[in-house]
Structures are given as structure tokens and as C-alpha cells.
Structure 1
Amino acid sequence: MKKQFYKLSQAFLFLVLLTFSQCKKTDVKATAPAVDIKIKNTSSFAAPGPGGGVLMQAFYWNTPAGSWWTTVNGKIAAWDAAGISAIWLPPATKGQSGGSSMGYDPFDYFDFGTYNQMGSVTTRFGNLTDLNTLISNAHSHNIQVYADMVLNHSSGGALEANPYTGTNTYTKFIPLSGKFPRTYSDFHPNNIHASDEGAFGGFPDLCHAQANVSNWVYNATYSMSRYYKNTMHYDGWRFDYVLGYGAWVVQNYVNSVGGFAVGEDWDGNAANLQNWVNATGGTSSAFDFACFYAMHSAFDSNDLTHLNDDMLLKRNAAKAVTFVSNHDTDIIGNKYSAYAYIMTHEGYPCVFYNDYETWLTKSRMNNLIWIHRTLAGGTTTNLYSASDQYIDRRNGYGAAPGVIVYFNGTDYWQQQWVTSNWANKQIKEYTGVSSWIQTVAADGRVLIQAPPHAYSIWSVTGY
């Protein structure tokens, strides 16, 4: 939704030259090796690999105006090589703010930078040709493209007398595209009901129970859903502010054209997230805000047991889109550990553009993406949980051998004996923080280590 205040998170310094202790109960210390981060990624993982795909949020708040589609288009080849399998674009049509709009104040849902209205021909991000070029290029690299759908409200209408309010309201929409004209009866209150699940920011609140609205959104052959799918060639949908209207709207939209879907249900309660997913008939995933807040508590409040908190990914991993930050919220300080968590755990991880392109070390992010795409498959088993140490095992699935991820919240190196699924095999650490090559015992037991206030990720050798 609308941009909240951004806090530029300081990139977390990865310390690899400190000492480690055998565990909290001993005084045994040794020197950990200084090893460069190892990066492994190839363009062969453009399609979802053994560990699944990775989504890129391909924008941030207040992107430079005029040529954003061209900027993103120039990133596609490199993102493909890094293992990005889909991109989420901002709302692409003309908003009330015209060429300065971030798209969350929609006026003409069919003007992708073609018509001279709201003070400009182009949108903030470019014109229709630029967008078509971007989508085509993404598809040529086997990268899917998700549209940001703002269906709760409209903005920029002209004043008209409104019999349901007894006042004049900004509810008369006559877009130059000629598509989806709206009047007061298409908003709340109207002859059907006074309100729905929620309104936002004083904008005219669309009533999806009205035939004119439902026809233009998903029902009719000329609907948005069909136009975006069949003419614009979007592959999926990110639904903005789904707390503002019924989940049945998302269900009907997705049922009309298919494609991947994820809803912005801004709720840190995992049960509520699951209930919303269920209410869509299982047609949509949800951003896992429960995981987001749990990671913030775990990594920024020095209590890793919060990684045991309830999350959508633990209830229904197939419907959980995990993330570390986005254009609306950026509160996690230890972002590297948070990305290590979502890249080694179940769910569909989403990378934020600024984290990847500006704020964090790209090679380190690529390493985590490669680990997710190649190694991190299967169910999850917790092996160790304390406020200062946390270890999970991904059990492997198909071609993905699984991983063991070790988070260390102390000021010194730690090590632990854990039980793996790799009896009698050699394992190594895949981020480069440790040079250990360990042989797993016949009973699966193996000793691993992790650096201070960071993580290590282990799997069988040979990848």
C-alpha cells in the first residue's frame, strides 16, 4: 500500500575472523578460518529448480520517474543468471497523480502510458511500449511477470451529486481508454450496502457486488483480468490491501484467468493469514507477515526462539510468500540472517529490489538464492532452539539434498553436534564462512559451526 517511512537498514557486517567456542557449556576455543563467500549460480536455473523459485519485487517507493520499465528491462538477464524466476511490477496504469503516481491511486485501469490524462501521457514508469518490451524480455528469460492489482479503491474522479450520501463525491470516472467507467453507484455507500470489509485513505471505495464493477474486474470477456492476461501477458497477480474487500473477489479473479496469486493481507497472525487463504478457495497465496515479524523479533531482539513462532509457512508452506522488506515496511536490521532464513526454509521467498541492487552485497544474496534453488528442498525439522542458537534441517526432496542452517546470536563462534540425513557422507558449508569438510557418522551425527551474529548453511559436497 502507500509508502511508510523507510529506514535504511545498515548492511550487517559478516565477521569471519573471530574465535568460536565448542558450545555454551565448554571453554574450548579455536580460530575459525577466514574464507571468502562462495557464489554458485548459473543461468540454467531460470525455471524453478529443485528448491523452487525466487520472486523479485522489481520496484521501491518513489522510483525515478519516466523510465523505470527500461531500468528493470536492463536487469532481466542478470536476474535470470542469479536465479530469479518471477518479478512483481508496481501498478502499471494511470493514477490520479499521472506521471508522478506510484500506481496506488488508480484512475484508468487500461491506460498503461497511452492517453494524455491526469497531466501526462506516460505513467511514472514509462509507456506501453516500454512495458511490453519488458514483459517480452522477461518471458524470453523464462521469468514470469506479476501485476500489482489495486482493486479496493479508485482515485481522480470528477465531482457528482451522490444520492446515497446527499453530498457531491469524487466518483464520476470517464477514462480516456473508454474502459471501466464508474459512477457513485459503483462505490460505497450504494443501493446494495453501505460498506464492505474496509476503505482506505478516503479514496472512493469500490463495491465489487455491483455488476458494473465485477464485470470490468473479472466477469466479462472485456474484463481487466482477461485484458491483463491475454493482451498484456501478465502471468500472475499481487493483490493490494486485500483486507479492504472480500476474499471472494480474489477467488473470482483468479478463477477467471488462472495464474499465480498472492494477497497483501497485512496481519501478523498466522491463523488469520491461513483463514484468508482458505476464504479465497485456496486460489491465492499470502505474504507471510507472521514470518516477517517473527524474524524481526528473532534477529533484532537477540532471541532466536522467535523462529519457533507461528507462521503461515509452517501452517501452509505452499501458500506462503516470505519476505524481508518491501516498499511499505523495512524494519528488520539483520537482513542477511533474515534472507538466510527465508532462502533455506519452505515458502516462496521474495527479494526486495533495494536490498538486492543497493543495500546488501549482491554476491552474498546470489549465494543464498542459489542455495534456495539448488539445495533447500523438503520438509523442515528443528534440531536446536535457544535464545542464542537456532538450527533447522531441510530434509531434502527430489534433486534437492536439503540443508542444515545454523543461526548464531552470540559474539563468538559456536559449534554443535546435530543429526543429519546424510549418513557416511561428506558435507561442507555453502556460504564460505567455514572451510570445514565434515564426514557424517553412520548414525547421521556431525559437528558444524557458525560465526557470530550470523549463519552457516551445510549440505552434502558435490554441488
Structure 2
Amino acid sequence: MKRNQNRFFRLVVALSLTVLLLGGCNKEQPINDAKQSSATAIVKNGNYLKTTTNASVMMQAFYWDVPAGGTWWDALSTKVDDWSAVGINAIWLPPASKAQNGAYSMGYDPFDYYDFGQYFQMGSTETRFGSKTELQNLISTAHQYGLKVYADIVINHNSGGASEANPYTNTSTWTSFTPASGLFTRTASDFHPNSFDQSDLGAFGGYPDLCHNNPHVQDWLWKLPNSVAKYYKNVMGFDGWRFDYVKGYEPWVVREWNNAAGGFSVGELWDSNVDYLNWWANEANSSVFDFACYYAMNDAFDGNDLTKLNRDMMWKRNPFRAVTFVTNHDTDEIWNKLLAYAYILTHEGYPCIFYRDYEEWLNKDQMNNLIWIHNNLAGGSTNILYADNDEYVARRNGYNNAGLVVYINNADTWQERWVETNWSNTRIKDYTGHSNWEPVTQSGKWVKVQAPPKSYTVWSVK
């Protein structure tokens, strides 16, 4: 999705936490005596342990209006080593091809799908992010460190065409596309309305709307050997897709693209209706962003009512097709972000981390710790154990790992609660380092756990 170029960012409050080394206390402490300690509880030789199970965390590797000047691909190339080391398994890149605004565009106004910064058109040779060679180097470097690379695919609308007489509207429209690559030329017959389809499902911002029922459009988007889908996959090396504004076209389009090119895919279906999200994911044979979860978290953490986390969400309905997120380039509404990340990184679904949250706005040690917890402890089904305005406790039941109990506390004071675990007569500890309490579960698997104010703890076997 596009945003106005003059978008301003919300104020970000720096997090200030008292950090102590993780203690070795082996007995329960009264809650008012418990100390906060470092979130970097799991460290080996100065680095977070490489993920061992459930290793799926995506990085949205851009934000709106990243620095112009053709430096972004190179900047990302310097980060993929570190991202891989902490357990991120994939990066999602912005639309990579030449768009109407050339060197200033974020890519959501596509013109030439085959120009990755090697042709002079739209006022520049490079895209905002760099050259084709720099993009290929980034993809190659990411692959060397075991990261998959997902392309942002904008196929609802195009921009930058020349004016031509349009027999379907009896007006002149900006629908004549003759890209410098010489590939996927388009005319009025390739856009709504035309002889193939008079409807206009996805009118967006006044841009010409591609008609996916047109065989010419289908050929160039996914059917031909050098179609956009196959060129991105086989020549450029992309491993998967993030489909922009999928409300603008039917889910069979994504399904056909995936059948032709393969790879992971996720759709941006901006809707909180879980029935709709699940229907689309099944029809498209694709994952979908869990906007139901996003809005529930916003109401829960910023509305001071954690019972909102009891709502239906895509990850609860269809976890293997749910991509959970806290922020993206279009949205930045959740204020208590760290609590939200503690939620998505301990629950089911494929969590996506936002670049600025990770690199600029939040505590990176705490984020790395949550990624480690996700990849090593957060397996199996989920049971919600307790929820009220201030407290939320859930259990992951484990799958090739021990599972966990997550305790999120939105109150202004320490809280403690008895919960039922999966472990009998077992010493457990908090893997976030926020509590150095190490209780032993009873024979009936019950144990008392605690969480500091406006924070969280994650418990598992020691």
C-alpha cells in the first residue's frame, strides 16, 4: 500500500529499563523483592543461540520513506548476517522495480516490472533503493546467511503510462505503457474496463487498474517463461511474495501466481473479519496478514483491557496461514509495542518484525531474546489460562520443545498468579531475565509465576 510522501511518524517513547545481570537464585522470592534483570538471558559466546526449532521470524526490511539516493540495498546487505544470527529466517523487501516517481518512489506506483535500476526512465536509472546489481548482491548475501527474500508484488494498479484514446471509456486515459525493458507493454485493453471485464474491483487512487481476466495480462504476470513471477523467482532469486492490496482482485490471481512460480506468499487483506481472512487465505492458497490480531492487540494493550486478546484471530483459526505483526509501513497505532511483540513472538503464527522497531525504536536485546524464545520454546498448541484488564497468561504446549508459559502484565505494579503448566515437579525459570524467581511446579503441574509492571515474563523448564 502507498502512503503520502509527507507522512509524519508518531512520536516514539524511548524505553528505560533497569538492567541487572541474571541472578542465580533458586528459591521463590516475594514479588515485591523480585528484581528486573537483563533480557539477554540466553547467550553463548556473546551471541544469541542459533534457532533450533520453529525457526520462522520475518523482518520487514524497510519503512516508508527510507533514505533516497540508491543506498538501501547496500545498507541491508550489511545487516543480514546479524539478523540471521539472532534467528530471523526471511526478509521482506519493498517493491523493487522502477515506478512512476523514479528515484523518489517507494515502488507502489509500478511502471516497468523488469527495471530494477538498470534503465534510465522515469527520471533516473537507479530506483530509490539502488541498482539491479546491488539488489542481486543483497539477495545473494541473504541466501548465503540462510535468509529467504520476499518480494513486494503490486499487481492491482500501474502508474506512469502515457495518455491514449480509450475506446472503452470514450476518453483519453493514462494506459499506454512502453517500458524501456521492452517487456510487458500495456494498452487500454489491459486495464478495466475492457472487452474482458467491465468491472473495476480494485480502483485505487485513480491509477489504471490491471484486468487479470485478460490473457495478455495473465501471460506476462505469471504464465510466460519470462513472466514477472518467473523472472523474479528464477532470474532475480526471490523466494516468495507479499501481495499488495489484494482486495483489488480475486484470490484466484494469487493462487495461479503461486501455482506458476511457487514460494511462500502472504496477502495484504486489510480487514479484521476473521471469516474473510480465512476464506481468502484458503481460496488464494496463501498466508494472510492477521489484521484481526493487530486490531485486538491495539485495543488490548493501548485500551488497557487484555480480555480483548480473547477475540477470534486468524492465528487461532488457521495458524499456518497467519502472519502476525505489530507495525508495518502503513500502520503504527500500537503504543505498547514491546508487550505486543511479547504476544506475537510467544503465540502461534508467523511473526513479522518491523525494521524501525528492531533497529531504532525498541530495545534490541529484548527483541533478540523474544526471537530466541519464539524459535526455541514457542511450539505446539495454545491455551489461554487467564485474562483480565491488566493480566494475560497463556501456555504453549510444546512441539519438539518444552513449550512455555507467557505472562503479560499491563498493570503499574508487579503481579503474580498460580497457573497450570505441562510440567510436574520441575524447576522452571523466566527466560526473559525480568524475574530471577525459579519456582518448582507441584505434582499437579501448578506453579506461581510473576511479571513486572508494564512488562512480561516467559517461563519454561530450566
Work out which of the residue numbers 135, 141, 152 in structure 2 matches 1:137: 141
**Match for residue 449 of structure 2?**
448
Structure 1 stretch 238-247 or stretch 37-46: which is displaced more?
A: 37-46
> Post-superposition shift, 1:45?
6.8
> Post-superposition shift, 1:44?
8.9
**Match for residue 215 of structure 1?**
219
CA distance in 2, matches of 1:45, 1:145: 22
**Match for residue 418 of structure 1?**
419
Offset from partner CA, 1:404-461 (integer Å, 9 cap, x none): 0011121111100111001111100011110011111111011100111221111111
CA distance in 2, matches of 1:361, 1:55: 18
> Post-superposition shift, 1:257?
1.4
CA distance in 2, matches of 1:222, 1:91: 18
CA distance in 1, matches of 2:444, 2:31: 26
What residue identity is the alignment partner of 1:273? Answer: L
> Post-superposition shift, 1:29?
6.3
- Where in structure 2 are the equivalents of 1:144-223 lying within 5 Å? 144-223=148-227
> Post-superposition shift, 1:39?
4.1
What residue identity is the alignment partner of 2:190? Answer: D
> Post-superposition shift, 1:279?
1.6
CA distance in 1, matches of 2:223, 2:192: 20
- Where in structure 2 are the equivalents of 1:12-27 lying within 5 Å? 12-14=15-17
CA distance in 2, matches of 1:210, 1:165: 17
CA distance in 2, matches of 1:177, 1:159: 20
> Post-superposition shift, 1:41?
5.8
**Match for residue 70 of structure 1?**
74
Contact 1:9–1:332 (Cα < 8 Å) also in 2: no
Matched, 1:385 2:387: yes
Matched, 1:244 2:252: no
SS at match of 1:455: strand
SS at match of 1:438: coil
CA change 1:201–1:454 in 2 (3 A) is: same
CA distance in 1, matches of 2:217, 2:233: 18
Work out which of the residue numbers 341, 344, 347 in structure 2 matches 1:345: 347
SS at match of 1:124: coil
Offset from partner CA, 1:194-220 (integer Å, 9 cap, x none): 224221100000000001100000112
Work out which of the residue numbers 262, 272, 275 in structure 1 matches 2:266: 262
> Post-superposition shift, 1:31?
2.2
What residue identity is the alignment partner of 1:354? Answer: R
> Post-superposition shift, 1:51?
2.6
SS at match of 1:69: helix
Contact 2:42–2:431 (Cα < 8 Å) also in 1: no
CA distance in 1, matches of 2:292, 2:49: 29
TM-score, length basis structure 2 = 0.94
CA distance in 2, matches of 1:175, 1:425: 65
CA change 1:75–1:380 in 2 (3 A) is: same
CA distance in 2, matches of 1:354, 1:245: 30
SS at match of 1:437: coil
Work out which of the residue numbers 118, 127, 131 in structure 2 matches 1:123: 127
CA distance in 1, matches of 2:358, 2:32: 34
Contact 1:196–1:245 (Cα < 8 Å) also in 2: no
Contact 1:393–1:404 (Cα < 8 Å) also in 2: yes
> Post-superposition shift, 1:170?
0.3
What residue identity is the alignment partner of 2:452? Answer: P
- What percentage of aligned pairs have identical amino acids? 55
Structure 1 segments of 4+ aligned residues over 3 angstroms from their partners: 11-17, 41-46
Offset from partner CA, 1:69-104 (integer Å, 9 cap, x none): 000001011111111100000000000000111000
What residue identity is the alignment partner of 1:34? Answer: Q
Work out which of the residue numbers 308, 318, 331 in structure 2 matches 1:316: 318
Aligned-pair Cα RMSD in Å = 1.6
Contact 2:31–2:416 (Cα < 8 Å) also in 1: no
TM-score, length basis structure 1 = 0.94
Work out which of the residue numbers 288, 293, 301 in structure 2 matches 1:299: 301
Contact 1:325–1:332 (Cα < 8 Å) also in 2: yes
Contact 1:41–1:366 (Cα < 8 Å) also in 2: no
Contact 2:163–2:176 (Cα < 8 Å) also in 1: yes
SS at match of 1:344: coil
Offset from partner CA, 1:118-155 (integer Å, 9 cap, x none): 00000000001100100000000110000000000000
**Match for residue 272 of structure 1?**
276
Structure 1 stretch 115-124 or stretch 448-457: which is displaced more?
A: 448-457
> Post-superposition shift, 1:15?
6.7
What residue identity is the alignment partner of 1:234? Answer: F
> Post-superposition shift, 1:261?
0.2
CA distance in 2, matches of 1:62, 1:364: 26
Work out which of the residue numbers 57, 61, 64 in structure 2 matches 1:58: 61
**Match for residue 7 of structure 1?**
10
Structure 1 stretch 384-393 or stretch 253-262: which is displaced more?
A: 384-393
CA distance in 1, matches of 2:16, 2:319: 30
Contact 1:11–1:334 (Cα < 8 Å) also in 2: no
CA distance in 1, matches of 2:422, 2:416: 18
CA change 1:386–1:147 in 2 (3 A) is: same
SS at match of 1:30: helix
Contact 2:42–2:49 (Cα < 8 Å) also in 1: no
What residue identity is the alignment partner of 1:358? Answer: E
SS at match of 1:439: coil
**Match for residue 397 of structure 2?**
395
Unaligned runs of 5+ in 1: 18-27
What residue identity is the alignment partner of 2:366? Answer: R
What residue identity is the alignment partner of 2:449? Answer: I
Contact 1:239–1:262 (Cα < 8 Å) also in 2: yes
CA distance in 2, matches of 1:184, 1:232: 29
**Match for residue 286 of structure 2?**
284
**Match for residue 80 of structure 1?**
84
What residue identity is the alignment partner of 1:159? Answer: S
CA distance in 2, matches of 1:383, 1:44: 29
> Post-superposition shift, 1:179?
0.5
Unaligned runs of 5+ in 2: 21-29
Contact 1:417–1:445 (Cα < 8 Å) also in 2: yes
